[in-house]
């Protein structure tokens, strides 16, 4: 059966709102009021509520009792906890992916990297914003990197944590071109180490890749974007991230 018009409109509204949140057109912490959203997206309350519920499942929006929805605020404490969880789980799943991934997985990884490397990172019409196409290609590459893992529950947890980090990752990209950071080289290194089954080096590279974005957001110039922003990066937060990286690199199955 064909999808209902309501379902199709909810899908389209979800996709458009998600892109607007990740591009910063709907800012972290912004209140999402149904009349304004209805006028902006040209849909009714039912469609909006379905789209917002799906966005809440990805932790891109939050429901506030008696206050409606808001774009998920950015928090230094939450970001640090999320980063530690991602490093631990994604690095574990990467180990399994490299041990269990087959030839079709290798081919898919090469293809996804090819698309990512050739997709412009920034929007041609708005050079300060990361393009929606690059965001999709980036997510596809990282999902594929882990997809050799045959434990569906662990893989689902890892992908869920990556989805939760999407807002932080996008916000960091909107605010800096990352002087001295070569994101293209980082992704190529991850692909090459994965294909060579260089497990320890690949795990270390992934842990560093994940933590780097957190360090950028905790930088003094950007920490004001966080709800609990602070001048500079507190030593205890850096220490927690360093511990997460060390444990992930040292863990063996």
Is the predicted pLDDT of residue 49 greater than 60, yes or no?
A: yes
CB 116 within 8 A of CB 140: yes
The whole-number average pLDDT for the span 210-236 is 61
Partners of residue 64 on adjacent β-strands: 68
Q: Worst-scoring range by mean pLDDT, 20-24, 160-164, 195-199?
A: 20-24
pLDDT in tens, 66-102: 778 999 888 888 888 999 999 999 999 999 999 999 9
Is the predicted pLDDT of residue 157 greater than 80, yes or no?
A: yes
- Look at residues 32, 11, 22, 245 and name the one whose alpha carbon lies nearest to residue 133: 22
- Look at residues 121, 14, 115 and name the one whose alpha carbon lies nearest to residue 57: 14
Structure tokens given for 154? 């662990």
Query: pLDDT band for position 240 (50/70/90)?
Result: low
End-to-end CA distance of the chain, in Å? 45
- Look at residues 185, 207, 242, 202 and name the one whose alpha carbon lies nearest to residue 96: 202
- pLDDT cut 90: percent of the chain above it: 50
pLDDT score, position 234: 52
Is the predicted pLDDT of residue 253 greater than 50, yes or no?
A: no
pLDDT score, position 96: 97
Structural element, H or E, at residue 186: helix 183-195
Q: Which long-range contacts (CB under 8 A, 24 or more apart) does 226-232 make?
A: 226/74, 226/75, 226/76, 226/79, 227/29, 227/73, 227/74, 227/75, 227/76, 228/75, 228/76, 228/77, 229/76, 230/76
* 130 SS3 class: strand
- Return the sign of the alpha-carbon dihedral for residues 73, 74, 78, 84: positive
Specify the residue for token string 């997985």. Answer: 105
* 214 SS3 class: helix
Is the predicted pLDDT of residue 231 greater than 70, yes or no?
A: no
CA distances from residue 47 to 27, 34, 68, 80, 147 in whole angstroms, order as listed: 21, 10, 15, 34, 32
pLDDT score, position 6: 62
- Look at residues 249, 151, 139, 145 and name the one whose alpha carbon lies nearest to residue 197: 145
Q: Which pTM value belongs to this model? A: 0.76
Q: Worst-scoring range by mean pLDDT, 33-37, 44-48, 162-166, 236-240?
A: 236-240
Rounded Cα gap, residues 36 and 84, in angstroms: 37
CB 116 within 8 A of CB 108: no
Residue 70 phi/psi, 5° resolution? Answer: -145, 155
Is the predicted pLDDT of residue 232 greater than 50, yes or no?
A: no
Higher pLDDT, 49 or 64: 49
Query: pLDDT band for position 1 (50/70/90)?
Result: very low
Query: pLDDT band for position 145 (50/70/90)?
Result: very high
Name the average pLDDT for the chain: 83
Q: Worst-scoring range by mean pLDDT, 4-8, 56-60, 88-92?
A: 4-8
The whole-number average pLDDT for the span 29-38 is 93
Is the predicted pLDDT of residue 238 greater than 60, yes or no?
A: no
Is the predicted pLDDT of residue 191 greater than 60, yes or no?
A: yes
Using CB atoms within 10 Å of the CB of residue 20, give its burial: 0 to 12 exposed, 13 to 18 middle, 19+ buried.
middle
């Amino acid at each position: 059966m064909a999808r209902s018009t309501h379902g199709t409109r909810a899908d389209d509204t979800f996709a458009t709102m998600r892109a607007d949140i990740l591009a910063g057109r709907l800012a972290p912490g912004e209140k999402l009021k149904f009349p304004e959203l209805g006028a902006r997206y040209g849909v009714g309350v039912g469609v909006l509520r379905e789209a917002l519920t799906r966005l809440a499942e990805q932790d891109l929006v939050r429901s506030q009792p008696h206050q409606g929805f808001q774009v998920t605020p950015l928090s230094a404490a939450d970001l640090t906890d999320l980063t530690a969880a991602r490093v631990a789980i994604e690095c574990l799943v990467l180990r399994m992916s490299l041990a269990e991934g087959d030839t079709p997985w290798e081919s898919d990884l090469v293809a996804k990297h090819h698309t990512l490397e050739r997709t412009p990172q920034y929007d041609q019409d708005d050079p300060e914003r990361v393009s929606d196409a690059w965001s999709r290609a980036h997510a596809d590459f990282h999902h594929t990197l882990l997809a050799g893992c045959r434990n569906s529950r662990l893989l689902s947890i890892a992908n869920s944590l990556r989805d939760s980090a999407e807002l932080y990752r996008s916000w960091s990209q909107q605010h800096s071109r990352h002087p001295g950071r070569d994101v293209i080289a980082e992704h190529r290194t991850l692909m090459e180490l994965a294909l060579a089954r260089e497990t320890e080096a690949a795990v270390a590279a992934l842990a560093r890749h994940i933590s780097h974005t957190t360090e950028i957001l905790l930088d003094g110039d950007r920490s004001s974007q966080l709800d609990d922003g602070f001048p500079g990066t507190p030593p205890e937060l850096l220490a927690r991230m360093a511990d997460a990286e060390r444990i992930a690199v040292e863990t063996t199955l």
